[in-house]
Structures are given as C-alpha cells and as structure tokens.
Amino acid sequence: MATPHITAEPGDFAPAVLMPGDPKRAERMARLILDSPRLVTDVRGILGFTGTYAGDGPHLGRPLSVMASGMGMPSITIYATELFRWYGVERIIRVGTAGGIAPAVAVGDVVVGVGAHTTSSMNELRIPGTHFSAVADFTMAAAAMQAAGAGLRVHAGTVISEDHFYFKVPGQVEALAAYGVLCVEMEAAALYGVAAEHGKGALGVFTVSDHLTTEGTNMTAAERETHFQDALTLAVAAAFA
C-alpha cells in the first residue's frame, strides 16, 4: 500500500527517520551512516532509505531510515503525517541548517530545537481557541544534548520556523534575538505539531550555516561537512534514545 506521496510498502521504514530537507543530502547521509541502505521511496524526487546503523557503539545494526522533507512546513507536514500515520514511524529527527539569530550562536554551532515559535498558521488551526505550543520530545532532546562531545559548540533552546525565506518583517529579527531565539529555519514548528497530533516524537537538530545579526564568515565546504557530522551524531542519539 503506497500513500499519496510515498511509494514504500508497510514495514519499509524503521521506527526512527532522520529527515534533512534536501534529497541529495538524504542520500549522502544514508550512505554515510547506514549499512546496505535501500531506496524505499522516490516520489517527486523525495528520496527515502532504510538500512541498519553502521556507526560504532551500542546502536550498531539497529534499523534506521533517512528521508528528505523538502522545504517548508506544508512539505514536511505531508511526509511526517504519512510516516507517522501509515508506516509505523515513532520518531522523526529533522537534521537541517538554520540562520543564526542570538548573538551567542555562531556559524558552525549546533542547535537543538527544544521549542519552535512560528509565523505559520498551521498549528493555530489545531486546538480551537489556542496558541499551540510546538515543543520537541524531551527524551530525544535530552539524549541529543548528552551525545554532544566536549568541544562541540551546541545550544538548546527555541528556534523560529518561518514561511518566508527572503521576506523579513521589519523589527522581527531584533525582537526574536531579544527573546533569546537561537536561529531561524522553516520546518520544526510544523513537525512538532504533526508529532503531537499523532502522539509521536520529534526533534530538530540544526547546523548554523549563516547568521542574520552578527558579522560572520560563512562556512567552507569542509567545515560544513564536519559540522553536519556533529549534528548527525546528536540526531542518531535522539533516534535511538
């Protein structure tokens, strides 16, 4: 049985799915951390893979999936809903990039998104008369923070999930910084909402790829890959927590 946006068969996904935005990144991640990754879906070029975890440590050999989300809250909502509702998926960990907002966050740092503010109306529709609170699964967030090795610059706190990438509401970034919001991305709040709807677990782990309020150097390609691996280590810990 396929779903409208996923061609996989029941049982094709592991209980935990790591979810980058970019399908090519999903493929690279799958080849990097899975033994014998198997392509299980490719509708609209949104690639999904399942294999067994290839990393050292206690989780070696456990089933794990990697699937892209595409960009933005409607896109991740479609894939997360189908995975939770019809494929028995219990946990989704978004592994993405984000723009730094808080001055304490630097390009290359990793952010664990404990909660997500949003400019989207998607969660406003969920509980009548209620401003929805989009939060990560506590056990998963705690496991991710615990997996952060010494020397890794990692922050836990709130992020903002925006609908616009290019348009900025005047004064908004400054206000977000004043409230200690760590970074901006485009999917977490919706993912946390879908997880709450289905009684499942979700977490976002972000690599800060650029910064909106401080002058900083952008990462080199090599740095991007190293920092991406740091974020991946935290995401795997959350997947198996």
Q: How far is the CB of 100 from ligand HPA (least distance, A)?
A: 8
Q: Which of residues 58-97 bind ligand HPA (CB under 6 A)?
A: 97
Q: Does 196 bind ligand HPA (CB under 6 A)?
A: no
Q: How far is the CB of 120 from ligand HPA (least distance, A)?
A: 12
Q: Does 165 bind ligand HPA (CB under 6 A)?
A: yes
Cβ proximity of 216 and 100 under 8 Å: yes
Cβ proximity of 213 and 100 under 8 Å: yes
Q: Which of residues 168-187 bind ligand HPA (CB under 6 A)?
A: 184-186
Please state at what angle helix 221-239 crosses helix 138-147, rounded to 10 degrees: 130
Q: Which of residues 127-156 bind ligand HPA (CB under 6 A)?
A: none
d(CA 164, CA 53): 35
Pick one of 12, 27, 162, 230: the residue that binds ligand HPA (CB under 6 A): 162
**Among candidates 106, 217, 193, 204, which has minimal Cα distance to 159?**
204
Quick one: 111 or 142, whose CB is closer to ligand HPA?
111
What type of residue is 158?
T
Q: Does 99 bind ligand HPA (CB under 6 A)?
A: yes
Cβ proximity of 47 and 67 under 8 Å: yes
Q: Does 210 bind ligand HPA (CB under 6 A)?
A: yes
Quick one: 8 or 188, whose CB is closer to ligand HPA?
188
d(CA 173, CA 179): 10
Q: Catalytic annotation on 210?
A: yes
Q: Does 98 bind ligand HPA (CB under 6 A)?
A: yes
Structure tokens at 115: 């909660």
d(CA 67, CA 141): 20
As annotated, the active-site residues are 210
Binding residues for ligand HPA, rule: CB under 6 A, are: 97-99, 162, 165, 184-186, 209-210, 212
